[in-house]
Amino acid sequence: MKPWRRPARFIMVGTAAAAVHWAVTVLAVELTGVAPAWANVCGWLVALVVSFIGHWRLTFGDRPVRPLRSALRFAVLSASAFAINAAAYALLLRWGAVRYDVALAFVLAGVAMLSYLASRRWAFALD
């Protein structure tokens, strides 16, 4: 694979997963009235599935990795990134002067690079 393709695919899959995360969170808040912090958990859970499948098939599909091992590692990685996401989001919700949906978009963008590096070097590492 050409060197630029993997990061480009990661960005595409990550953008799709982030859009799903954001949309599920916003819909949960707007349609059900659930608190934004709890809606964020729902958004993350749905995006976790979208993200893993996309990265497993598209971003790292050329790597002969064991799917279950990669799925478990990716879940740990995603949960760690989500912990950072949730903490930063909670801080922005409490002390930021920005709307909840804008704050979430900012936080989602902030953890993307760390997620790429950890995915490439650990979650989807070659056996």
pLDDT at 50: 95
pTM of the predicted protein model:
0.76
Task: Establish how many alpha carbons lie within 13 A of residue 70's alpha carbon, considering only the half-sphere containing its beta carbon.
Answer: 23
Task: For residue 64, give the DSSP letter.
Answer: -
Please report, in angstroms and rounded to a whole number, the separation of the first and last CA atoms in the chain: 18
Please give the tally of structural domains in the chain.
Answer: 1
Whole-angstrom distance, CA of residue 110 vs CA of residue 103: 11
Phi, psi of 46 (to 5 degrees): -70, -45
Measured torsion, CA atoms of residues 3, 117, 102, 104, in degrees rounded to the nearest 10: 140
pLDDT in tens, 85-116: 889 889 988 888 888 888 888 887 888 777 87
pLDDT in tens, 33-85: 999 989 989 998 999 999 999 999 998 888 888 888 888 998 998 899 889 88
The whole domain housing 24 covers: 5-123
